[in-house]
Chain A
Amino acid sequence: MRLIIGGAYEGKRAYVQSHYGIRPEDFTDAGAADFCPTFAYPCVFRYHLYIKALCEKQEDALKKTEQLLECNPDVILIMDEVGSGIIPMEKSERQWREAVGRVSCFLARRAESVERIVCGCGVKIK
């Protein structure tokens, strides 16, 4: 598994296309309502939105992420960094933000590589 992180609109998908040869049709939107972690995917993006959906349903994001990795050991996973702002007033927003942080730490430990995309440039941090 490869993890690609960065702020919103930093060029993460374009980076994955040019560096890993992923075609536009091979990207799966984890923010879509029908996203299922146990299907097979070459590349999944907006994973932070899937975590949001799980938080809303009070489901364990780490457990679902483990399932995804079991079924997709070679997936390229793209997610936004969302934790570098003011602590949100809304409890559900706080929980989501913290879950994204914890899941990203978990993914980074398991990942073969972690790249952080800034202005479209990839910085290999693992």
Chain B
Amino acid sequence: MMILVTGGSKCGKSRMAETIAVSCERPHYYIATMMPFGEESLAAIERHRAMRRDKGFVTVERYTDLHTLRLPDRGAALLECMGNLCANEMFSANAEHPKEKILQGIAALNAQTELLIIVTNQVGADGVTYPQETMRYIRTLGAINAALAQSADCVIEAVCGLPLVLKGEKPICL
């Protein structure tokens, strides 16, 4: 079972994804993709850690090369977030084919879990024409999101903390 949770900034995606993850039997893995650099990302990481506290997640930090990740047990995995993983692969690892590499990683992860929840971002709706590299990022993340949605059983857009189901059935825990 694979569920994709998308949405804009601070729209309640994480909380929703966590609620879905903990509805599955343990273990619950949290696959963190944000590199801990800079004051703001550290603050964001701390905020997310506080939110996950007492929910029983095992945190696995993985910034690139998702395809090599091996989880010790089956269970639920929450990957947060695709926007960071995509940026890491494109701009830190300089992956030649970031989309294919990431999708391969997701397929490998999906095969190891009962439930895989992927948090991603909507980044293409501000109407701004950015420099070439940023446009390439928007295009790549958009293509990854579309491919993930195609193989996902359920796609949810978080809007003001509310779940809008774009594909499949709304999980009963929401």
Contact = CB atoms under 8 A, between A and B. Distances in A.
B75 interface: no
B161 A86 contact: no
Contacts, number: 74
B8 interface: yes
A20 to B, nearest CB: 19
A84 B10 contact: no
A120 interface: no
A83 B9 contact: yes
A3 to B, nearest CB: 7
Contacts of B168: none
Given A97-B9, A101-B8, A7 B125 contact: yes
Contacts of B160: 3, 5, 104-105, 107-108, 114, 125
B123 A86 contact: yes
A94 B130 contact: no
**Top-8 shortest CB links A-B:** A85-B126, A101-B10, A83-B8, A83-B9, A108-B160, A84-B8, A84-B125, A105-B161
Interface of A: 3, 5, 7, 81-87, 91, 94, 97-102, 104-105, 107-109, 114, 116, 125-126
